[in-house]
Chain A
Amino acid sequence: MDDAKQEAARIGREIDGQIVRPKRQLAMVFDLNKCLGCHTCSIACKTQWTREEGMEGMWWNVVNTLPGEGTPKSWETMGGGFEPDGRQRPSRIPGREEFGDAWQFNQQEVLFEGSASHLEPKNFKGEKPSWGPNWDEDQGAGEYPNSYFFYFPRLCNHCTHPACLEACPRGAIYKREQDGIVLIDEQKCKGFRFCMEACPYKRIYYNHVKLVSQKCIFCFPRIDEGVAPACARQCPGRLRFVGYLDDENGPIHKLVHQWKVALPLHEEFGTGPNIFYVPPLSPPRVTATGKPDPSKPRIPIEYLQSLFGPRVEEALRILETERAKKARGEASELMDTLIVYRWPDNIFPDLTKDPATL
Chain B
Amino acid sequence: MAIEITRRSFLTGAGGGALVLSMGYLGWRSLQKGAPVTALPGAGGAPMPRVDYQSYEDIWRAKWSWDSVAKGTHFVNCWYQRGCNWNVYVKDGIVWREEQAGAYEPIDPKIPDYNPRGCQKGACYSERMYDGARLRHPLKRVGERGAGKWRRVSWEEALTDIADKMIDAMISEEGPGSIMWDQGTAQTNGGAGFAMMRTSLVLDTPVLDVNTEIGDHRPGFCVTTGKMVHCSSSDDLFHSDLILIWGGNPVYTQIPQAHFIMEARYNGAKVITIAPDYSASSVHADQWVPVKVATDAALGLGMAQVMIAEGLYNKRYVQEQTDLPLLTRVDNGRFLRGKDLEQGGRDDQFYFFDLAEQKLVEVSQKTLELGTIDPALEGEFEIDSLQGKLKVRPVFAQLREHLQQYEPEKASALCGVDPDTIRQLARDLAKARAATCISQSNFSKYYHGIEMERAQLLCFALAGQMGRKGAGYMSFPYLSIDGADAVANLRGQGNPKLQLAALGLKMAPRFIADKLRGHTKEMTIYDLAREEFRHGAFPPSLLWLYHQGGFEDLYGRSADWDPSMKRPLSSYMDEAIEKGWQFRPATRPRIFMEAGGNVLRRFRGYDVMIEKLLPRLDLMVTIDWRMSNTALYSDYVLPAAAWYEKDDITWATPLSPFSQVVTRATEPVAEAKPDWEIHCLLLKTIQRRAAERGIEKFKDRHGEERSFDVYDQFTFNGRYNESNVEELLDLILSVSTNVGDVNWRKLKEKGFQRFTALGDNSFMNIGNATDVKEDEPITAGLWHTEKKMPWPTLTRRMQFCIDHPFYEELGERLPVHKDQPSIGGQYPLYMTGGHTRWSIHASWRDQKYMLQLNRGEPVIFMSVEDAKARGIRDGDRVRVFNDISSTEMQARVAAAHRPGQATCYHAWEPFMYKNRKSYSTLTPNPINPVQLAGGYYHLQPMPALFSPGSTDRATRIEIERVG
List residues of chain A with CB under 8 Å of any chain B CB: 1, 5-6, 8-10, 13-17, 33-34, 36-40, 42-44, 46-49, 51, 85-87, 100, 102-103, 105, 107-115, 117-121, 129-130, 132-135, 137-145, 147-151, 170-172, 174, 183, 185-188, 217, 220-222, 224, 230, 233-239, 280-284, 286-287, 289-292, 323-324, 326-329, 335, 338-344, 354-356
Q: Are A121 and B116 in contact (CB under 8 A)?
A: no
B149 & A114 in contact (Cβ 8 Å cutoff): yes
Among candidates B53, B259, B278, B855, residue contacting A145 with C-beta atoms closer than 8 Å: B278
Compute how far the CA of A135 lies from the CA of B859 in the bound complex, rounded to whole angstroms.
Answer: 11
Within 8 A of A (CB), among B861-901: 861, 863-865, 874-875, 892-899
Q: Which of B115, B265, B857 contacts A344 (CB 8 A)?
A: B115
Task: Indicate with 1 or 0, residue by residue over B256-285, a CB within 8 angstroms of chain A CB atoms.
Answer: 101100110111111001000010101111
Given A221-B64, A233-B99, A340-B112, the answer on whether A118 and B268 have CB atoms closer than 8 Å is: no
Contact status A326-B266, CB under 8 Å: yes
Q: Is the CB of B116 within 8 A of A105?
A: no
> Which residues of A are found within 8 Å of B853, using beta-carbon distances?
39, 42, 132-134, 137
Do A140 and B280 touch (CB < 8 A)?
Answer: no
Query: Hey, which bits of chain B sit against chain A, CB under 8 A?
Result: 34, 36-39, 48-53, 55-57, 59-61, 63-64, 69, 87, 89, 97-103, 106, 109-113, 115-120, 123-124, 126-127, 131-133, 143, 147-150, 241, 251, 255-256, 258-259, 262-263, 265-270, 273, 278, 280, 282-291, 412, 416-418, 420-421, 627, 632, 837, 846, 848-849, 851-857, 861, 863-865, 874-875, 892-899, 909, 911-916
Q: Contact between B132 and A292 (Cβ–Cβ < 8 Å)?
A: no
Please determine whether B849 and A43 come into contact, CB atoms closer than 8 angstroms: yes
Cα A217 to Cα B87 in complex, Å, equals 23
B259: A residues at CB distance < 8 A: 34, 236-239, 340
- Shortest distance from the beta carbon of A280 to any chain B beta carbon, whole Å: 8
Would B852 and A102 count as touching, CB distance under 8 A? yes
Contact B846 A119 (CB under 8 A): yes
Tell whether A187 pairs with B120 under 8 Å between CB atoms, given A103-B851, A120-B857, A149-B283: no
Contacts A43-B123, A118-B911, A323-B268 hold; do A48 and B148 have CB atoms under 8 A apart? no
**Bound-state Cα–Cα, A17 to B278, Å:** 49
**Cα separation A80 to B693 with both chains bound (whole Å):** 79
- Closest-by-CB residue of A relative to B251 is A36
A290 touches B856 (CB 8 A): no
- Give the most central of A8, A329, A342, A354: most B CB within 10 Å: A354
Q: Is the CB of A230 within 8 A of B99?
A: yes
Residues from chain B with Cβ under 8 Å of A107 in the complex: 131-133, 846
Q: Report chain A residues within 8 Å CB of B916.
A: 117-118
Contact B38 A15 (CB under 8 A): yes
Residues of B within 8 A of A187 (CB): 55-56
A105-B848 contact in complex given A36-B280, A114-B143, A236-B258, C-beta closer than 8 Å: yes
* B64 close to A48 (CB less than 8 A): yes
Q: Which of A47, A137, A140, A327 meets B127, CB within 8 Å?
A: A47
Please, which residues of chain B bring their CB within 8 A of the CB of A342? 106, 109, 112-113
Known contacts A220-B57, A221-B61, A356-B87; A13/B895 CB under 8 A:
no
Inter-chain contact A355/B99, CB cutoff 8 Å: yes
Contacts A217-B60, A289-B416, A290-B290 aside, 10 further interface pairs with beta carbons under 8 A come to A46-B849, A107-B131, A110-B148, A145-B898, A147-B894, A187-B55, A283-B273, A284-B287, A286-B290, A344-B102
Q: How far is the CB of A40 from chain B (nearest CB, A)?
A: 4
Residue contact B38 to A291, C-beta cutoff 8 Å: no
Q: A8-B53, A42-B853 are in contact. Are A290 and B132 (CB under 8 A)?
A: no
Q: Would A47 and B126 be within 8 Å (CB), given that A139-B893, A354-B102 are in contact?
A: yes
- Once the chains bind, are A103 and B852 in contact (CB under 8 Å)? yes
Chain A at the B interface: mostly helix, strand, loop or mixed?
A: loop
Q: 7 A-B pairs, CB-CB below 8 angstroms?
A: A103-B852, A112-B148, A147-B896, A217-B60, A284-B287, A292-B287, A326-B268
Known contacts A224-B61, A234-B118; A150/B283 CB under 8 A: yes
Tell me the nearest residue of chain A to B890, going by C-beta.
A128
Chain B residues contacting A132 (CB-CB under 8 Å) are: 852-856
Is the pair B268, A328 in contact by a Cβ cutoff of 8 Å?
yes
Smallest distance from the beta carbon of A167 to chain B beta carbons, Å?
12
Cβ-defined partner of B278 (8 Å) among A9, A103, A140: A140
Complex interface: chain B residues within 8 A of A102 (CB): 848, 852
A186 engages B56 (CB within 8 Å): yes
Closest-by-CB residue of A relative to B281 is A36
- Most chain B C-beta atoms within 10 Å of own C-beta, residue among A6, A15, A138: A138
Q: Which of A33, A239, A290 contacts B289 (CB 8 A)?
A: A290
In contact, A236 and B64 (Cβ under 8 angstroms): no
Cα(A21)–Cα(B857), bound, Å: 47
Residues of chain A with a CB closer than 8 A to B57's CB: 183, 220-221
What's the minimum C-beta distance from B724 to chain A, rounded to whole angstroms?
28
Chain A residues positioned under 8 Å from B52 (CB to CB): 5
Residues of the A chain whose Cβ atoms lie less than 8 Å from the Cβ of B131:
107
Instruction: Given the known inter-chain contacts A111-B133, A236-B258, A327-B268, please indicate yes or no for A343 contacting B38, CB distance below 8 A.
Output: no
Tell me, rounded to whole Å, the shortest Cβ–Cβ distance linking A321 to chain B. Answer: 12
B637 smallest CB distance to A (angstroms): 10
Q: Which of B37, B251, B284 has the most A CB atoms < 10 Å from its CB?
A: B284
- A-side contacts of B120, CB under 8 Å: 38-40, 42-43
List, in ascending order, chain B residues with CB within 8 A of A140's CB.
278, 894-896
A-chain residues with CB within 8 Å of residue B417 when the two chains form the complex: 289-290
Chain B residues in 8 Å Cβ range of A110: 148, 911
Q: How far is the CB of A352 from chain B (nearest CB, A)?
A: 10
B113 engages A341 (CB within 8 Å): yes
How many angstroms from the CA of A133 to the CA of B270 in the assembled complex?
A: 33
The complex places the Cα of A239 from the Cα of B176 at a distance, in Å, of 54
The answer to whether B913 and A118 touch across the interface, beta carbons within 8 angstroms, is yes
B418: which A residues are within 8 A, CB to CB? Answer: 287, 289-291
Are the C-beta atoms of A171 and B50 separated by less than 8 Å? yes
Q: In angstroms, how far is the closest chain B Cβ from the Cβ of A137? A: 7
Residue in chain A with minimal CB distance to B274? A290
B103, B127, B846: which contacts A105 (Cβ < 8 A)?
B846
Known A138-B280, A341-B111, A343-B116; contact A48-B37, beta-carbon cutoff 8 A: no
- Cβ contacts under 8 Å, B147 to chain A: 114
* Docked complex Cα distance between A233 and B55 (Å): 27
* A151 and B283 in contact, given A8-B53, A338-B266 (Cβ under 8 angstroms): yes
Contact residues in A for B132 (Cβ distance below 8 Å): 105, 107-108, 111-112
Contacts of B899 in A (CB 8 A): 144
Whether the pair A117, B914 counts as a contact (CB closer than 8 A) is yes
Point out the residues of chain A lying under 8 angstroms from B855, CB to CB: 129, 132, 135
**Is there contact, CB below 8 Å, between A356 and B848?**
no
Q: Is the CB of B102 within 8 A of A343?
A: yes
User: What residues of A have a CB within 8 angstroms of the CB of B251 in the complex?
Assistant: 36-37
Closest to B861 in A: A138
Contact: B278 with A51, CB < 8 Å? no
- The chain A residue sitting closest to B121, CB to CB, is A43
Chain B contacts for A39, CB-based, 8 A: 120, 853
Closest chain A residue, CB of each to CB of B148 = A114
* Chain B residues closer than 8 Å to A47, beta-carbon distance: 97-98, 123-124, 126-127
C-alpha gap A222/B58 in the complex (Å): 12
CB atoms of A234 and B267 under 8 A apart: no
- Minimum CB–CB distance from A202 to chain B (whole Å) comes to 18
Please state if A49 and B63 are interface contacts (CB–CB under 8 Å).
yes
A158 to chain B, nearest CB (A): 15
**How far apart sit A187 and B273, CA to CA, in the bound complex (Å)?**
52
Contact partner of A339 (CB less than 8 A), chosen from B266, B909, B915, is B266
Contact A291 B150 (CB under 8 A): no
Are A36 and B255 in contact (CB-based, < 8 A)?
yes
A181's nearest neighbour on chain B, judged by CB, is: B57
Q: Which residues of A contact B865 (CB under 8 A)?
A: 144
Given the interface pairs A38-B120, A87-B37, A224-B61, the reply to whether A291 lies near B420 with Cβ below 8 Å is yes
A107 to B854, CA, bound (A): 17
Beta-carbon contact of A112 and B150 below 8 Å: yes
Chain A residues, CB < 8 A from B98: 47
